[in-house]
């Protein structure tokens, strides 16, 4: 399997600089559940977001897939992307190093 990273940015910046709408809040919850499920399957290695609430804010997910097409399907099926709450960009990626506790955790998942 190959690794990919997808970067997420809010479609409506006010979602993070002010208050999210009820719909945005719902979709972000679905997005979190989607990535949590993929992490439980070992497809997503990690995900999270920056803690700044300005125009620089972003989220990312590092995943494993058999092909770029599969990685793109995973990204495009993310509820935040499907519902246009976030915009996403996909990049080929390779983890070059990892802390020992993270590596042990990743090996337990296999």
Write the pLDDT tens digit of every residue in 62-107. Answer: 999 999 999 999 999 999 999 999 999 999 999 888 776 665 665 5
Collapsed DSSP state (helix, strand, coil) of residue 9: strand
Kindly report the backbone phi and psi dihedral angles of residue 97, in degrees, each rounded to the nearest multiple of 5, phi listed first. Answer: -160, 160
Write the pLDDT tens digit of every residue in 38-71. Answer: 999 999 999 999 999 999 999 999 999 999 999 9
Tokens of 106: 């990743």
- Domain ranges in the chain are 2-109
Write the pLDDT tens digit of every residue in 11-24. Answer: 999 999 999 999 99
* Domain 2-109, CATH class in plain words: alpha beta
pTM of the model: 0.87
C-alpha to C-alpha distance for 49 and 109, rounded to whole angstroms = 22
């Amino acid at each position: 399997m190959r690794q990919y990273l997808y970067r997420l940015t809010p479609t409506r910046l006010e979602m993070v600089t002010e208050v999210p709408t009820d719909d945005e809040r719902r979709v972000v919850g679905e997005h979190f559940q989607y990535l949590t499920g993929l992490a439980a399957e070992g497809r997503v290695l990690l995900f999270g977001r920056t803690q700044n609430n300005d125009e620089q804010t972003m989220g990312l997910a590092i995943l494993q897939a058999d092909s770029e097409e599969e990685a793109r399907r995973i990204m495009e099926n993310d509820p935040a992307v499907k519902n246009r709450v976030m915009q996403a960009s996909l990049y080929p990626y390779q983890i070059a190093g990892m802390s020992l506790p993270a590596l042990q955790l990743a090996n337990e998942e296999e």
